[in-house]
Amino acid sequence: MKLFHLFVVASTLTGCSTAAQSEFSRITSTLSETGASQSKCLEQVKNINEAKLDTIKNKYYLDIADTPPPLSFTTISTFPNKQELGIISAHYDSNLQCRNIVMHGAEQANYLLYQAAVKCYSQKSQMYEKFMEGKTTWGSINKLKYQNEQACKQSFESAFAQIRGELEISNQAELAQQAERRQRFGLALGAMGQQMQQQQIINNMNRPITTNCMGSNGMVNCTTY
């Protein structure tokens, strides 16, 4: 199951730097790292089980996270035998470490994503327990797997959208506060400048006036300062 790379986008919240933007950046960074670790883990698990999975590759659709199963996989009416069920169970169990990576990353990112992960894996476990009863055809198994992937994807995307929406509200509130502070600061500077200008005028008015006069060749020149 590859979930995180589906909704982690290289976008940011609008405006200048805020606490909400920093939190959004932390969450997306955590999810990006989780997605990379998850993909690496899934590839390793696939390689380990590749030989056994090859024996059921014409019945068991593995690329369920990326594309819906073709009709040739959803219309198989036969049931898996005991050995084939063992291969499915072993492959599911070997993915435990990958699921733990997602759970840990979701928990570190945000509680809404963690809740989505818990719900997703709980439903997936119930689905595989049902498969192990041997009463589900190959076609139904492939259909149910795809439906589960889509449900998980929707849960994660809804959680991420809610997180982004809440942070955007906080972000806009922070931006409004920043704008208000800048406006108050500008008004204070303006008032201070006006006060200094008025004080200068008063100082000039109260300044002592001195007049000096000098006479030369019958003419008198006076200077006032």
Whether residue 27 lies inside any domain: the answer is yes
Beta-carbon contacts of 92 under 8 Å, excluding residues fewer than 6 positions away, are: 128
Read off the amino acid at residue 143: K
- Please give the chain's pLDDT, 225 residues, in tens: 555 554 554 455 565 578 888 888 899 889 989 989 998 998 888 888 889 999 999 999 987 766 889 999 999 999 999 999 999 999 899 889 999 999 999 999 999 999 999 999 999 999 999 999 999 999 999 999 999 999 998 999 899 999 988 998 887 887 777 666 666 666 666 666 676 676 666 666 566 666 666 666 666 566 665
What pLDDT is stored for residue 184 in this prediction?
Answer: 67
Provide the domain limits for residue 143. 4-176
What pLDDT is stored for residue 10 in this prediction?
Answer: 42
What pLDDT is stored for residue 136 in this prediction?
Answer: 94
Whether residue 51 lies inside any domain: the answer is yes
Catalogue the E-assigned strands of the chain: 211-216, 219-224
What pLDDT is stored for residue 225 in this prediction?
Answer: 59
Whether residue 128 lies inside any domain: the answer is yes
Whether residue 217 lies inside any domain: the answer is no
* DSSP states of 104-173: HHHHHH-HHHHHHHHHHHHHHHHHHHHHTTT-S-HHHHHHHHHHHHHHHHHHHHHHHHHHHHHHHHHHHH
Dist CA 177 CA 156 (whole Å):
32
Whether residue 210 lies inside any domain: the answer is no
What pLDDT is stored for residue 58 in this prediction?
Answer: 93
Q: How many CB atoms lie within 10 A of CB 40?
A: 12
Whether residue 190 lies inside any domain: the answer is no
Whether residue 219 lies inside any domain: the answer is no
Q: What phi, psi does 10 have (nearest 5°)?
A: -85, 50
Whether residue 134 lies inside any domain: the answer is yes
Dist CA 90 CA 99 (whole Å):
14
Domain count within the chain: 1
